Structure 1
Amino acid sequence: MYKRILLKLSGEALAAGKGFGIDAVFIHKVAAEIAAVHSLGCEIGIVVGGGNFFRGVAQQAIDMDRVAADHMGMLSTVINAIALQDAIEKLDIICRVMSAIEMHEIAEPYIRRRAIRHLEKGRIVIFAAGTGNPFFSTDTAASLRAMEIKADILLKATSVDGIYTADPKTTPEATKLPDITYNDILRLNLRVMDQAAVSLCKDNNMPMMVFSMKEQGNIVRVVKGEKLGSLVTA
């Protein structure tokens, strides 16, 4: 269904409900699912969050300078990227971590043309350190990288099976929205992703699928064209 995708994984998802750190068993399950998508011939770029270690806007950073806190959050994404790279390479798939902040000893610097070349050669590319700039979330980084590598779709894997009119964890009567536009997300002020990311996708006509990664095989089903979760279009 899709030749090239950008997969956004949250740091919280890699913690698999533990709240902090990386769940070693779960990250290998995620790697196996990514490998299954790769075997279909799909080119895969991945953006990982860092919320399982540190978030610049979280309570733990309340007394910190926002720029310093965001830099710490970016470094958290690098930890997750290296862990995911290790799990993927254990399945004999070549994987590259490209960081928006230069750290040559552990990751390649992000260069758009080099990233696209890696994808064309069948390598999986993990984009770490967000955009490299404070005040931008990894959701914005995912939207930006999806545009830069000319992905067919942005896949946002979360702990919820789609977009709801309210948080289904706290509002049981919330209604699921299988189809929605970016304008509706902005108008209803839905917390799917931050407004900068939503506007970027809207302005560049980038479709996005929001779905749950709790069920094994969901990423493969989405790539094959099965409609799961919520589809967002411009």
Structure 2
Amino acid sequence: MLIVMGNAPTVKTAFNQVEQMAFIVFEGGEGVGKSTQIELLFTSLKQQGITCTLTREPGGTPFAEDIRALFKRINAHGDTPLPLTELLLITAARAQHIQKVIEPELKKGNHIICDRFLDSTYVYQSIVGQIEKMVVDTISRYALQNFIPDLTLVLTADPQKALSRIKKEKMRAEDRLDSFSNDIHAQIMNGYKEILAKQFPYPSGKVPVRIAIDANSSVENVFAQVKLAVLNTLGFQL
């Protein structure tokens, strides 16, 4: 499944013709295989001699990583954060991340691969958390300052398949998001499908280039979709 949403940039034929650094985002629910695909893309870029920076949200800077730890921790006292609290924490981490990592790295000439960005906020805090998109956009506008990814790859998979992957990952320590009920995981997956179908605009009003990736198949087949998406939208031949 390869679905392009938003206005794709002009395709360039090879890396040495890429004049502007690309900000690539991977999105999706828990257990869809984002980490694996991110590592595969990062390795492929390095093999091409392309300078690339890996980062993630929430996180990316020491302060933002502290917020991530707080955000994902399973609290023994049971006082889980409200969706609005989550939104404010995530936005604070994002402001730090953009100004201290993403923009400086792009200015250095490095491509960026980021695990999650604003679409995760739309899904987890707006669609699932039931905070109006207008509220998310109002708060996010100050952090983003019109910043928008060049390409967002949205991995979707059957919720049961995704949950089974989480359980099979022996080295993975379960966090608060992994421990969501099956119903919440299904809502998250449907949330990403809603973003794709409705072409959610960013606070600036621009619709980012989003490509749906079917993550139900093998790692190799999923990566083949990723490579095709990168080629068709950014002109990166891997």
Measured against the shorter chain, the TM-score band is 0.3 to 0.5
Between 1 and 2, higher relative CO (CA 8 Å, sep ≥ 6) is seen in 2
**Structure 1 length-normalised TM:** 0.38
Which structure's residues are more often helix, by fraction? 2
Which structure's residues are more often strand, by fraction? 1
